[in-house]
Structure 1
Amino acid sequence: MNTVESFFNRKKQQLGVQLNDVQKEAVLHTRGPLLLLASPGSGKTTTTIMRIGYLIQEIGVEPSRIKAVTFSRASAADMKERFARFFPEVSTSSVDFSTIHSLAFQVVRDYFYKQKVSYQLIEGSLDGGPNKKLLLRKIFKAMNDENITEEQLEELTTYISYIKNKLLPRNEWKKIDCDIPFVEGIFEEYEKMKNANPSHLLLDYDDMLTIANDAFNKDKLILQKYQNRYDYVLTDESQDTSLVQHKIIEKLVKPHQNLFVVADDDQSIYSWRGAEPTYLLDFKKHYHNAVILKMEQNYRSSKDIVDVANRFIKRNKDRYDKNMFTENLGAMPIEITQFEDYRNQAKYLVQEIDLVEKKKDVAVLYRNNSSSIMLINELDRHQIPFFIKDSDNRFFSHWVVKDILNFMRMTYTDKRVDIFQQIYTKCGFYLSREQLFELAKKKLTESIFERLLQHKSLKEYQMKQIKACEKTFQEMKGVKPLKAIKLIRNQLGYDQTLKDMSKKLGFNTDYIFGVLQTLEEIADSLDTMEEFAKRLKHLEDLMKASKFNKNKDAITLSTFHSSKGLEFKKVYMIDLIEGVIPSHNEITKYKDGERDFMEEAVRLFYVGMTRAEQELELLTYKKQNGKEVAQSRFVANVKNIISPSVKVQPTGTKKKLKAEKANVPYNQGAIRKAEDIQVGMTIKHRVFGQGTVVSIAGEKIEIQFQKVRKALLLETCLEMGLLEPANEVSVHQEREKER
């Protein structure tokens, strides 16, 4: 037996690791550049670890001469831990596992040390001192005379990062889509502030990359130092690597060209952040003698999922021709569920998830973080634990949420000017600053409306609007929070104000009205506005605390982007409608002949599909916020792949195909009123079977079934027709079955 086979057989006996022919070929390629195209679930990390071990144990490479670059610190830690398990005889500190930013930081440190220039990072965990977001907030305020919103701040930081990662010159900044007013001027002022003191620079994370690249260009000695340090370089998740990152790696490996690149062009989903998927397609232009291998066998998912996903990704044209396959057996055909209204989606999910024994086997994936809010509200009401991957609490600090709470506060006290100042522009008063200043000088014992009406400079239309608002606020006192929100939206004219603001400032109206719809869902079933405010705070705290459920038996909630690299037995992909995936912008660009945006949306959908091991369910609906919406074209595409000959049936009819799941059928015998249910009553649940009502307390009903006791939401059971009376005959039949 030769040494090569001895190495593979040894690892098979020690670890049970058996590589296929392509994986072995990748491990044995030890000289020159190699691009390894790794399909989802194809064992890329195992192959990479085995290659590092082979270089050390069979080729005799010193471990410290190997550099492995990963996409994130978590990936670096995971690869390091797995290497230690595979090759415990090799010290884990020997092989250099790190992110590209960590490598760049070392280069920058050496470069500035030579130049005798000090620097300070303005991102990450900072104890006082300059901070990137605070600087940008300050500049935005100075240029726009108003505070920046969280959404605008995210868009601004993305814009800056994109330009730096793309290495775009100043004359090309204007080509980048961005709705931030004076964005180019803000960027310029930001750079001026960071470089105001030439001997003490302020740096953000993206500066680390651009300065490291400049250092390699300008300082040959530093470049040679790092070139001489490593004989082999490996990069993982290279489809998400930006142009400046590729340039750094190019220079680093130039003398020996021993570059091992692991990537999947079909999973490139970060172009908005500066990733360069075309770099992989042009790999041989950058590395002329490169070898390209394709790992197409999927070990993760069932045949049902792999076959459909493989055909789905072929929608894209700008990709390597690959054919993902699996030797796994089929498990469950992909299911498609369509609801009449999107509000049914969360209720359906919690009913389904409640049946799952191991919650950690389930993930719910969505494109936008806002999709999680209504879901966590329902999960909490059903006491189902969850973990949110990269949770985003910005919903609870959104200005629309703050507006609604301030409107509600005004019903408790109409004398506080500080609250009124937060919302008066949303009420159609058109007050001047002078009028607002005069308001604060009036007697605090009088209501704000009385003080306003005393102002002599008011126009007739202003007086009319003030009186109408006063009447509405009086009407709102003591009402349930859902009714209060509807009064705010309609009688106070908040909806129209939002439409006008969106048109003027370029806000996403679908998102903003989605926030309002979510607030209405949270408010539904609550009795007081105090309960509503407490509920929002509770959900925010719950979202923050969900990180502690990471390794517990809890379902995972994640965006499609954050789910990359994860896998679950059952995956639900939700909110699959036109305008979400693909987004309105992607649809518009596609119509204008720009295919890149739509192709990335296809890749994002593909990433979501390939997280599933055994079961995948796609959820869509017909109405949202009272408007008709269309199911995602990607759902239609999947439907056509599964059954190209079957026509879509009318709503509510049961599909013969298992892959097409019907809405929950209407049950004519279902109990629809709470008063028709009594403690001690024998009922039948659509899912859990027959049981006895143990208690009814508030919004919960507790039922003892044959093997388990369940606390369910009474409203959901009634609304979805899940309960029906069990007559004596059915009771007898159940007992006979038990015998």
Structure 2
Amino acid sequence: MNAIERFWLRKRQEVGVSLNEVQKQAVLRTEGPLLLLASPGSGKTTTLMMRIGYLIEELGVLPPRIKAVTFSRAAARDMKERFARLFPAQAEARVGFSTIHSFAFEVVREHYRRAGIAYRLIEGDIEREEEAEEGGALPQAGQSPDPDVPVPHKKFILRHLYRTVKGETITDDQMEVLLTYISYVKNKMVPPAGWADVPCDVRDADRILQAYEQYKRTGSDRLLVDFDDMLTICNDALERDADLLRRYQRRYDYVLADESQDTSLVQFAILDKLVRSHGNLCVVADDDQSIYGWRGAEPRYLLDFKQAYPGADVLLMEQNYRSTREIVGAANQFIKRNRNRYPKEMRTNNPAGAAIEKRCLPDFKEQAKHLARRIAALSDPGAAAILYRNHASSIVILNEFDRAGIPFYMKDGDHRFFAHWVVEDVLNFMRMAYTDKRPDLLERIHAKLNGYITKHQMAALKRIDNQASVFDNLLAHVPLRDYQVKLIQEVKTTFERMKELPPRQAIRTIRWQLGYERALERLCERFGFRLETLVGVLNTLEDIADTLETMTDFAGRLKYLEEIMKASRYRSKREGAVTFSTFHSAKGLEFDEVYMIDLIEGIIPSQEDIKKDERDEPADMEEAVRLFYVGMTRARSRLTLLSYKRKDGALVRESRFMTAVRGAEPSPAGSPRTQAGAGRAVPQPAKKAAPSLAPSIRAGSLVRHRTFGDGEVVDRDEERIRIRFATGEKRLSVQACAEQGLLEPV
């Protein structure tokens, strides 16, 4: 028995670890660049830890000479704990487990120390800030010399600059969009000349970013640095300071990067510089699980890995140890919808299990009730998870589960819903129904109701010093246009009637009779809000209001739901609490039973994905496919897919992804397969022959489109097809229609 065989035997006896042939190759190929493509549930973290242990115990590499980076502090901590369990004798070894941001900050600190530059973080201490993703509050740094920015935190600065540039107050939703835009620009290394070309729902985002960059250099007594800056400054410092780069290159002989499908261009540039002198880079990733393109992740470099590192090995870890054959087979077939990927064949030796359940409910409202019934019937709800695309979905579910007395756990509950300006507007409308004598209340909503009350008229109203109705004062003391008189009288009468209405009916009165929904449409046109998002908030409020008797009950219910959402993150699976999670946050987790919900067109894939796909921009649709795949592969034994036919009285279409799973035949990819081809190098991603559109679909023929309904083909060439629908003409990509099965003859 040679030394390597003794190593495998010793680890099997010590901690019960037994690796398959591909995993062993990944451990042993220590020199030079290696791309390890790991399918879901394939044991990648164990393999990575075994590789580090092999370097130390068998090759004699000193632990501090090894750098292992990942992209969240929780993942870095998990790697460190997993390594200590597998190699207890090395528990105190100082292997460099960290996040990429922590490493970048280390470089930035040394760079600024050497240059004598004073700086201040505006997103808190790096380690404490990373804990915020697990629920901690954002720490606040120092005091700012600008009285309008009392704390030099990134959000406070951006709020101040938005008001300066736009003359308006930024909403929480706009703030999140703006933060994502800035992070995307920095992580993609977009030069200032290209900022205006990056799409953003916040108008003039590029101007605000320019002002932000200027403020960080001149708005304080020191240079201000945020998290994205840590990456760009680190990369620039290593590029320009040859001595600094050599110091770090000499510090680490081996660099390992986990979850590398989430790596951005600037992060990869940092890692590339770090290993340039020796080339010992091990990248562990799954191109099929890259789901963070919207914040700058760039999976393209995985597909081009052998071009960047011509001598690299590429190994495929395709064996899934997590899920049943049915789940593995369906997921394996589903991900093949994507063309820009490595040709992996995920397989499993696990036994067969239950068929994937695909259920289309009559109505959206039935979904939460259906889930509550199903989860209540489980012997261990703590082993189950409910996954959704958007945070808004969780509000209706938690409301139903609370009413049913079913405990739930939410690590990433989005409390912003309860502070959303639409929610506050609705509450202010309700307050006005109880008392119409407060000008301050009317001032908050006057631009969002019938009556068209101007700022000048509001200013005049506020100068009136009496306790009469604000509407009476407007009619008696403020100059109005002729058409306003009748409108304001009607508004006053509507508020008087609203006082006695149950909250659900009151919300509908606010939406339609008081003109709030029309006002939202105008705001969307002016500020670029998404109307579907705002209407979704209103629909959710109606669902919460259902069965409540008074508007006071409704306000109390909102406060209560916010509190139980906050409290839910302190529950655990051991308490029998079912997990609520977005698809994104579920990546890396696994559950016995998984419910994927809201599987309709416009949610997954999103309306934006669909529009871009129709414009022949397939990258976003491929990411949506990967996101759905991530959801599927969280399940060990049971997977349930839920859609519905109607939402808020309107017909909706089942997600094309669910349709694909529904129509797929059982795949041989889910059955056991030999290891004959295991560990093979894959020089290029898979290139499938593109499906073709039926020749019978030509000018004059009638067709049915999955999203737009029935239409008539006007003309067609090799690339585009023009169709006249009831809603107007559309020019669509022939390739996209064929690949996604969007068109069929009528």
AA paired with 1:30?
T
Match 1:604 to one of 619, 624, 627:
627
Q: How does 1:86-97 map to 2 (within 5 A)?
A: 86-97=86-97
Q: Deviations over 1:583-630 (max 9, x none)?
A: 111111111111101000000000000000000001101111221110
Match 1:623 to one of 613, 627, 646:
646
The structural deviation recorded for 1:550 is 3.3
Q: How does 1:64-143 map to 2 (within 5 A)?
A: 64-124=64-124, 125-129=139-143, 130-143=152-165
Q: Distance in 2 between matches of 1:641 and 1:263?
A: 27
AA paired with 1:363?
A
User: Are 2:29 and 1:29 equivalent residues in the alignment?
Assistant: yes
Q: Distance in 2 between matches of 1:147 and 1:397?
A: 15
User: Are 2:543 and 1:521 equivalent residues in the alignment?
Assistant: yes
Partner of 2:578: 555
Partner of 1:458: 480
AA paired with 1:165?
N
The structural deviation recorded for 1:407 is 0.6
The structural deviation recorded for 1:483 is 1.5
Match 2:345 to one of 286, 302, 323:
323
Partner of 1:591: 614
Partner of 2:451: 429
Q: Distance in 2 between matches of 1:92 and 1:324?
A: 36
The structural deviation recorded for 1:456 is 5.0
Q: Distance in 2 between matches of 1:51 and 1:431?
A: 70
CA shift in 2, pair 1:583/1:197, >3 Å = closer
The structural deviation recorded for 1:127 is 4.5
Unmatched 5+ stretches in structure 2 = 125-138, 144-151, 668-746
Q: Distance in 1 between matches of 2:538 and 2:511?
A: 9
Partner of 2:291: 269
Partner of 2:48: 48
Q: Distance in 2 between matches of 1:235 and 1:224?
A: 20
AA paired with 1:613?
R
Q: Distance in 2 between matches of 1:224 and 1:629?
A: 59
User: Are 2:662 and 1:639 equivalent residues in the alignment?
Assistant: yes
CA shift in 2, pair 1:373/1:106, >3 Å = same
Partner of 1:188: 210
AA paired with 1:85?
R
Partner of 2:728: none
AA paired with 2:66?
I
Q: What SS is found at the alignment partner of 1:549?
A: coil
The higher radius of gyration belongs to 1
Q: What SS is found at the alignment partner of 2:664?
A: helix
AA paired with 1:283?
F
Match 1:578 to one of 601, 619, 636:
601
Q: Distance in 1 between matches of 2:34 and 2:99?
A: 20
Asked if structure 2 preserves the Cα contact closer than 8 Å seen for 1:435 and 1:455, the reply is: no
The structural deviation recorded for 1:210 is 0.4
Partner of 2:60: 60
Partner of 1:383: 405
Q: What SS is found at the alignment partner of 1:261?
A: strand
Q: What SS is found at the alignment partner of 1:384?
A: coil
Q: Deviations over 1:242-301 (max 9, x none)?
A: 000101001100111111110000000011111111000000111111000000000000
Asked if structure 2 preserves the Cα contact closer than 8 Å seen for 1:242 and 1:275, the reply is: yes
The structural deviation recorded for 1:232 is 0.5
Match 2:193 to one of 165, 171, 176:
171
Asked if structure 2 preserves the Cα contact closer than 8 Å seen for 1:39 and 1:298, the reply is: yes
The structural deviation recorded for 1:84 is 0.5
Match 1:151 to one of 162, 173, 184:
173
Q: What SS is found at the alignment partner of 1:333?
A: coil
Q: Deviations over 1:494-517 (max 9, x none)?
A: 222223322333322222111111
Q: What SS is found at the alignment partner of 1:195?
A: helix
The structural deviation recorded for 1:491 is 1.4
Q: Distance in 2 between matches of 1:443 and 1:489?
A: 31
Q: Distance in 2 between matches of 1:388 and 1:223?
A: 42
Q: Distance in 2 between matches of 1:607 and 1:137?
A: 35
User: Are 2:253 and 1:237 equivalent residues in the alignment?
Assistant: no
AA paired with 1:73?
R
Partner of 2:686: none
User: Are 2:228 and 1:202 equivalent residues in the alignment?
Assistant: no
The structural deviation recorded for 1:449 is 0.7
AA paired with 1:366?
Y
Q: Deviations over 1:3-31 (max 9, x none)?
A: 10110111111111110000000000111
Asked if structure 1 preserves the Cα contact closer than 8 Å seen for 2:593 and 2:635, the reply is: yes
Asked if structure 1 preserves the Cα contact closer than 8 Å seen for 2:202 and 2:527, the reply is: no
Partner of 1:361: 383
Q: How does 1:698-737 map to 2 (within 5 A)?
A: none
Partner of 2:236: 214
Q: Deviations over 1:131-173 (max 9, x none)?
A: 1001001111111111111111111111111111111112211
Q: Which moved more, 1:360-369 or 1:381-390?
A: 381-390
Partner of 1:737: none
Asked if structure 1 preserves the Cα contact closer than 8 Å seen for 2:447 and 2:454, the reply is: no
The structural deviation recorded for 1:455 is 3.2
Question: How many residues get paired?
Answer: 644
TM-score of the aligned structures, taking structure 2 as reference length: 0.85
Asked if structure 2 preserves the Cα contact closer than 8 Å seen for 1:364 and 1:557, the reply is: yes
Q: What SS is found at the alignment partner of 2:576?
A: coil
**% identity of equivalent residues:** 54
The structural deviation recorded for 1:128 is 4.5
Q: What SS is found at the alignment partner of 1:562?
A: helix
Partner of 1:542: 564
Asked if structure 2 preserves the Cα contact closer than 8 Å seen for 1:144 and 1:181, the reply is: no
TM-score of the aligned structures, taking structure 1 as reference length: 0.86
CA shift in 2, pair 1:5/1:199, >3 Å = farther
User: Are 2:477 and 1:469 equivalent residues in the alignment?
Assistant: no
Partner of 1:228: 250
Q: Distance in 1 between matches of 2:316 and 2:92?
A: 29
Q: Distance in 2 between matches of 1:593 and 1:483?
A: 43
CA shift in 2, pair 1:350/1:198, >3 Å = closer
User: Are 2:590 and 1:567 equivalent residues in the alignment?
Assistant: yes
Asked if structure 1 preserves the Cα contact closer than 8 Å seen for 2:326 and 2:666, the reply is: no
Higher relative contact order, chain-length normalized (CA < 8 Å, sep 6+) = 2
AA paired with 2:608?
N
Partner of 1:411: 433
Unmatched 5+ stretches in structure 1 = 645-739
Q: Distance in 2 between matches of 1:430 and 1:385?
A: 46
User: Are 2:392 and 1:392 equivalent residues in the alignment?
Assistant: no
Q: Deviations over 1:293-317 (max 9, x none)?
A: 0000000001010000000000000
Q: Which moved more, 1:524-533 or 1:120-129?
A: 120-129
